[in-house]
Structure 1
Amino acid sequence: MQLFALGLNHHSAPIAIRERVSFQPERLGQALLSLTNAKPVREAAILSTCNRTELYYASDDPQSAADWLADFHRLSLNDISPYLYSYPQREAVRHVFRVASGLDSMVLGEPQILGQVKEAARQAEEAGTLGTLLHKLFQRTFAVAKEVRTTTAIGANTVSMAAAAVHLSERIFERVSDQQVLFVGAGEMVELCAAHFAGAKPRRLTIANRTEVRAQGLAERFGGDVIRLDAVGDVLHRYDVVVSCTGSPLPIVGLGMVERAIKARRHRPMVMVDLAVPRDIEREVADLDDVFLYTVDDLAQVVESGLESRQAAVIEAESIIDSQVDGFLHWVEARDAVPTIRALREHAESLRQTEMERALKLLARGESPERVLEVLSHGLANKLMHAPTQYLNRSEGERLGEAMRVLHHLFDLNRRG
């Protein structure tokens, strides 16, 4: 059984493709069980964010996961295969380490991805699909990410999606402090964005969410107010900046809703930042003259600060990761050898027991201890040497040379000779 990583991300696929294969949080458990029950996949975890959807799994059939991914989302594999990447064991381990360390992120070194990888592992453990192999992989992954962040400058001059959203708003409005900001959703990304916008002291900060308790907590923290999600259409015109990131499978903010808001605003500009995958805001909104709509892919164009120092740290981070990949694969190989080691020990123990019983019978018959020890040692040595001697005698030609090399190495004969 081998480890594999399969998926697509912002490097390999546009948002229009990524949103078609994303997983809603409430369906992750169902998806994991479907993947491990219906296909030859023994262990599995799914990482689904706005920038990537990836399957980490253990299987003897790597193709099965790609087939399952297409079937689960009711897509043709031919439609998504040009955007998919698949990594076998060594490359898969290295990829997971790089992802968690922020080396594969849209914003190099961004810290949110580590929390998202930890959440993917937690979901898999809760679903019962995190076996020994993946459990060890994730534990090592978290340790590697910590080492990369604490010993390199990969996280220096932090630039996040949240900071980029503020930067985009400042391109349109000179000062965020003069604007009213609406957040749709109350998840981690909205929380990060709210923290950044709150630092700019907007004139008003509002949280719209289905669950008012969660929204109320964020509003109190950042000095804002709360509205119901179904009230967004009625009040949208009041806000200059709208940042949305929910888990909705369908758009929450439609073209007609925004058209009415722009008309009520008398065509004053509006910045809309859609951080959700699938998108919360209908793509046609971008065609409106007075609306500046940005998606997660657009944010990459404004992330500039700190990249030089982070790029310099990449070489050091990659070196750490390469070393840790070798260490993890050594553990995997050692784990694969355990059944053979156990069988070898059981075989030796069986031979020992047989010779011990024979020795006890000789002692019971009155044989001298010296004679019994001599018989015991000869018998045990002959039985232990029987299999390698037969292996050598049965080998011919090139196999004989290889057999001799194996036995010399196995029994350290060169040093003894």
Structure 2
Amino acid sequence: MVADKQQNISGFFIVGINYKKTDASVRGQFAINNIQYANILSIAPSFGLSEFFILSTCNRTEIYGFADNACQLVEVLCSQTEGDIEMFKKLCYVKQGSEAIQHIFEVGAGLESQILGDYEIIGQLKLAVKFSKESGFIGAFTERLVNSVIQSTKVIKNKTALSGGTVSVSFAAVQYIKKNVSKIADKNILLLGIGKIGRNTCKNLVDYLNTKRITLINRTEEKARELASELGLQSASMDDLSSYVQSSDIILVATNSNEPIILKSHLENFGDKLIIDLSIPYNVEKEAQELSNVTLINVDQLSKLKDETLQKRVAEIPAAKAIIAEHKEEFLEWSHMRKNVPFIKAVKQKLHDMHNCELYLSSYSSYTSNTTSLNPVNVQAIQKVIKNMAVKMRQQHQPGCSYIEAINDFITTHRN
């Protein structure tokens, strides 16, 4: 559980790997599913961690949080991954303090996504933080930071074209199908997995392929039935997966299993198939691509697709970064002012103590005939003094001088 304490920004780290230095097969070794995430949360205190969250997507696995050093975050993350810690250390990047904060703003905006401006990342970020918060590992600093990132991305989305058009991993999959498959209306399509990416992919299939010959299979069957009913599609049980794989012409996989769900044996001698694996780690057995009847495409291959929309997004990068700079500055100012909270509380208490001090009251009575009780007017006077002091501290960063001025302001207020 996060203690109610001030966090020093220099102790905030982000450690991770992404598509820039690793391919999907390597990223898959360090992908974190919900079970692994829960295990990490349960053991985190033994690693000295109390405030952190993990973002694991098809493009990246990153851990954000407060630590004495980055190694604490690496160790707790790799304690649950298939890949070993030494490999991770060779491939990972580490950012600290202001640089780490800049990174999370750019990740949230889609500037760090494999497909520039991919807006799906902000939903994944929210879920990652929610998962950690439910176990008590999100404190005031991290919550405020993530909220600032969310607000920044909203402004970027509304005021720039960085996320304009319909380019995302899920849309890229549909785009690939349109360009490479003829007579789509005659094809049987199977979508396996309807999490965040799966749902978006499903809706894109319906919207852009003009077909309803789509069957949904999900580990939780009820979710598949609900989405199928909503969109006028079919759903099936996971128990029938093998037969539907064999009868489908196009298969899209968006699951989060640690092991392949679709095997080479499911595909042999069952006609030509296009399989698009949107999962990290891969959920289609690697050996499946050896079959002459199978075309297997993964997320890295999809992300290499270019079109006019992406080119337009590149031109929006400076505007997006300017918006990020504004929100980052506001957050850093808030973070800096948090350090003054104990001081401000102490001064406020001192003013209350002064008002109840007999020595002060006897001196004060020579200037006024008002009652000496701490009435609402006096409470308001203290609040006004404290507010003015906070403003001056924000501008001048001189706590000692502010303390003296607050005392003088309070005395002057009483005398007037």
**Aligned-pair CA distance for 1:74:** 6.0
Structure 1 pair 203–29 and aligned structure 2 pair: CA distance change class (3 A): closer
Is 1:16 the counterpart of 2:25? The answer is yes
Match in the other structure for 1:237: 246
> In the alignment, is the contact (CA less than 8 A) between 2:190 and 2:214 conserved in 1?
yes
Structure 1 pair 182–103 and aligned structure 2 pair: CA distance change class (3 A): same
Is 1:256 the counterpart of 2:265? The answer is yes
Structure 1 pair 51–74 and aligned structure 2 pair: CA distance change class (3 A): closer
Is 1:136 the counterpart of 2:144? The answer is yes
Q: Distance in 2 between matches of 1:222 and 1:99?
A: 31
Match in the other structure for 1:336: 339
Q: Distance in 2 between matches of 1:46 and 1:252?
A: 24
Structure 1 pair 233–411 and aligned structure 2 pair: CA distance change class (3 A): same
> In the alignment, is the contact (CA less than 8 A) between 1:90 and 1:325 conserved in 2?
no
**Aligned-pair CA distance for 1:43:** 0.7
Match in the other structure for 1:389: none
> In the alignment, is the contact (CA less than 8 A) between 1:181 and 1:202 conserved in 2?
no
> In the alignment, is the contact (CA less than 8 A) between 1:41 and 1:59 conserved in 2?
yes
Structure 1 pair 407–3 and aligned structure 2 pair: CA distance change class (3 A): closer
Q: Distance in 1 between matches of 2:40 and 2:361?
A: 61
Q: Bigger radius of gyration, 1 or 2?
A: 1
Q: Distance in 2 between matches of 1:75 and 1:264?
A: 34
Q: What percent identity do the matched residue pairs reach?
A: 26
Match in the other structure for 1:84: 92
Structure-1-length-normalised TM-score:
0.80
Q: Distance in 2 between matches of 1:328 and 1:179?
A: 51
Which one of the candidate residues 97, 106, 114 is aligned to 2:122? 114
> In the alignment, is the contact (CA less than 8 A) between 1:165 and 1:299 conserved in 2?
yes
Gaps of 5+ in 1: 371-404, 413-417
> In the alignment, is the contact (CA less than 8 A) between 1:205 and 1:223 conserved in 2?
no
Q: Distance in 2 between matches of 1:411 and 1:213?
A: 66
Structure 1 pair 93–286 and aligned structure 2 pair: CA distance change class (3 A): same
**Aligned-pair CA distance for 1:292:** 1.1
CA offsets, 1:357-378, max 9 Å, x none?
4466899xxxx958xxxxxxxx
**Aligned-pair CA distance for 1:411:** 8.3
Q: Distance in 1 between matches of 2:314 and 2:403?
A: 46
> In the alignment, is the contact (CA less than 8 A) between 2:206 and 2:212 conserved in 1?
no
**Aligned-pair CA distance for 1:272:** 0.2
CA offsets, 1:144-200, max 9 Å, x none?
111111111112122122221122223432232221101111222222222222231
CA offsets, 1:282-341, max 9 Å, x none?
112122222110111111122424012111111100111122212211111111232244
Match in the other structure for 2:231: 222
Specify the SS of the correspondent of 1:72. Answer: coil
Structure 1 pair 201–39 and aligned structure 2 pair: CA distance change class (3 A): same
User: Which letter does structure 1 place at the counterpart of 2:270?
Assistant: A
CA offsets, 1:16-73, max 9 Å, x none?
22111111124423322322x1122231111111221111112333321012222232
Q: Distance in 2 between matches of 1:369 and 1:54?
A: 65
> In the alignment, is the contact (CA less than 8 A) between 2:190 and 2:244 conserved in 1?
no
CA offsets, 1:240-264, max 9 Å, x none?
10001112111001112222xxx13
Match in the other structure for 1:402: none
Structure 1 pair 203–337 and aligned structure 2 pair: CA distance change class (3 A): closer
Structure-2-length-normalised TM-score:
0.80
Match in the other structure for 2:220: 211
Match in the other structure for 1:293: 296
**Aligned-pair CA distance for 1:342:** 3.8
Q: Distance in 1 between matches of 2:27 and 2:150?
A: 25
Match in the other structure for 1:275: 278
Structure 1 range deviating more: 168-177 or 281-290 = 168-177
Match in the other structure for 2:384: none
Q: How many residues are matched? A: 365
CA RMSD, 1 decimal? 2.7
Match in the other structure for 1:42: 50
> In the alignment, is the contact (CA less than 8 A) between 1:180 and 1:202 conserved in 2?
no
Match in the other structure for 2:313: 310
**Aligned-pair CA distance for 1:347:** 6.3
Specify the SS of the correspondent of 1:41. Answer: coil
Which one of the candidate residues 66, 73, 77 is aligned to 1:65? 73
> In the alignment, is the contact (CA less than 8 A) between 1:180 and 1:204 conserved in 2?
yes
Structure 1 pair 406–172 and aligned structure 2 pair: CA distance change class (3 A): closer
CA offsets, 1:54-103, max 9 Å, x none?
11112333321012222232653221112211111111111111111111
> In the alignment, is the contact (CA less than 8 A) between 1:172 and 1:271 conserved in 2?
no
User: Which letter does structure 2 place at the counterpart of 1:143?
Assistant: Q
> In the alignment, is the contact (CA less than 8 A) between 2:355 and 2:361 conserved in 1?
no
Is 1:188 the counterpart of 2:196? The answer is yes
Which one of the candidate residues 108, 112, 119 is aligned to 1:104? 112
> In the alignment, is the contact (CA less than 8 A) between 1:179 and 1:203 conserved in 2?
no
> In the alignment, is the contact (CA less than 8 A) between 1:180 and 1:238 conserved in 2?
yes
Q: Distance in 1 between matches of 2:233 and 2:402?
A: 72
